[in-house]
C-alpha cells in the first residue's frame, strides 16, 4: 500500500470529534510529523486547524500535491459525508485513511440542546437552531447517513465517544496502531486532555439515564436499533484496519542525508 498522505478525521457533532482530531494531530506531531495549516481552497477559511467540507476533484489533487511537498501525512477534520467521488477515490487508492467518531444518539441529542442554549446566549450561529430534543434527533438522523458512508470505505477506524472520553489512552493506542507509529500513548492522551481544546463539557457517560424521559429514551433506542445502537456502538471493539508505515519526517531524512 502506498503511504497515505491524508488523514480525514470525521466526527458526528457533539460526539468527541475534536478530541479525536487532536489525538491524531498530537500523535503525528509527537512522532515528528508537523501539522502546518494547509493553503488549499478545500479548507474552511479562517480556521486555526485544517478543516474541510465538500472536496472537488481539483481540490483533492491540490491537497495531495501540497502534502506531497510537505513529505508526510496531515490530518484534516470534517463533519461532512464522503459523497464526493474525489474523497472516495483517495480512500480506495490508499492515498488517505480516516476515522469516524460517533456517540449514543440520546447523549448526543442532550449535548446538542446544551450547545444550542450556549450558542443563543452568546449570539453565535453554531447549534443555535437546536432548541429541542426533536430538533436534535432530526439532525442526528441525517448524520447517521454520513457516519455509515464513512464506515463503508476502506481504511476507516471507528471510534466510540465513550472510548475517546473515558479510555483516552487506549484510544490513542488504537490510533497509533492505525498509523503504524510507536509512541507513548499515555503521554499523548494526557497532553491532549490537558493542553488541547477538545470541546469537552459535561463529559458524562450515559447522560440520558438521568436527563431523558425513560419512555423517550426507549423509543429512540428502538428507532436506531439495530443499525446504530446494536451494529455500531456495541461493536466499538472492531479490529484496527491495519498497520501503515509512515516515512521519516522530512527534517529527519535531511539530517540523515547530511
For 134-181, the pLDDT digits (tens) are 999 999 988 888 888 898 899 999 898 988 999 999 999 999 999 999
Q: Are the CB atoms for 59 and 42 separated by under 8 Å?
A: yes
Q: Give the mean model confidence (pLDDT) for residues 186-199.
A: 88
Rounded CA-CA distance 207/4 in Å is 37
Q: In the prediction, which pLDDT does 216 show?
A: 92
Cell of 19: 478530541
218: left (phi over 0), alpha (psi -120 to 50) or beta: alpha
Q: Which residue has the higher pLDDT, 252 or 188?
A: 188
Confidence grade of residue 210 (pLDDT, cut at 50, 70, 90): very high
Other Cβ atoms within 10 Å of 129 Cβ, number = 12
For 165-174, the pLDDT digits (tens) are 999 999 999 9
Question: What is the CA angle 52-192-198, rounded to 5?
Answer: 50
Q: In the prediction, which pLDDT does 1 show?
A: 32
Cell of 246: 509512515
Rounded CA-CA distance 192/175 in Å is 13
Residue 190 pLDDT more than 90?
Answer: yes
Other Cβ atoms within 10 Å of 27 Cβ, number = 26
Q: In the prediction, which pLDDT does 61 show?
A: 92
Q: Are the CB atoms for 139 and 212 separated by under 8 Å?
A: no
Q: What is the mean pLDDT of the chain?
A: 85
List Cβ neighbours of 2 (8 Å cut-off, separation of 6 or more). 93, 94, 95
Residue 189 pLDDT more than 50?
Answer: yes
Strand arrangement of the beta sheet that strand 156-160 belongs to: 74-78, 6-11, 96-102, 156-160
Q: What does the H/E/C string look like for 153-213?
A: CCCEEEEEHHHHHHCHHHHHHHHHHHHCCCCCHHHHHHHHHHHCCCCCCCCCCCCHHHHCC
Q: By percentage, how much of the chain surpasses pLDDT 70?
A: 84
Residue 250 pLDDT more than 60?
Answer: no
Amino acid at each position: 500500500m502506498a503511504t497515505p498522505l491524508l488523514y480525514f478525521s470525521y466526527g458526528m457533532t457533539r460526539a468527541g470529534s475534536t478530541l479525536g482530531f487532536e489525538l491524531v494531530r498530537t500523535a503525528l506531531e509527537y512522532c515528528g510529523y508537523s501539522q502546518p495549516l494547509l493553503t488549499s481552497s478545500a479548507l474552511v477559511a479562517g480556521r486555526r486547524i485544517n478543516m474541510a467540507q465538500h472536496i472537488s476533484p481539483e481540490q483533492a489533487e491540490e491537497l495531495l500535491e501540497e502534502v506531497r511537498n510537505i513529505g508526510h501525512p496531515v490530518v484534516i477534520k470534517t463533519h461532512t459525508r464522503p459523497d464526493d467521488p474525489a474523497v472516495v477515490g483517495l480512500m480506495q487508492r490508499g492515498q488517505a485513511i480516516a476515522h469516524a467518531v460517533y456517540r449514543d444518539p440520546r447523549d448526543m441529542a442532550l449535548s446538542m440542546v446544551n450547545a444550542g442554549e450556549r450558542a443563543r446566549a452568546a449570539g453565535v450561529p453554531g447549534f443555535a437552531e437546536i432548541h429541542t430534543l426533536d430538533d436534535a434527533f432530526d439532525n442526528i438522523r441525517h448524520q447517521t447517513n454520513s457516519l455509515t458512508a464513512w464506515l463503508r470505505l476502506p481504511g476507516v477506524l471507528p471510534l466510540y465517544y465513550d472510548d475517546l472520553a473515558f479510555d483516552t489512552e487506549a484510544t490513542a493506542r488504537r490510533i497509533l496502531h492505525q498509523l503504524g507509529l510507536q509512541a507513548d500513548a499515555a503521554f499523548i492522551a494526557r497532553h491532549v486532555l490537558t493542553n488541547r481544546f477538545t470541546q469537552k463539557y459535561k463529559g458524562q457517560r450515559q447522560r440520558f439515564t438521568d436527563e431523558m424521559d425513560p419512555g423517550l429514551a426507549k423509543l429512540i433506542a428502538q428507532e436506531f436499533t439495530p443499525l446504530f445502537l446494536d451494529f455500531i456502538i456495541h461493536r466499538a471493539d472492531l479490529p484496527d484496519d491495519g498497520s501503515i508505515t509512515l516515512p521519516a519526517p522530512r527534517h529527519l531524512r535531511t539530517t540523515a542525508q547530511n
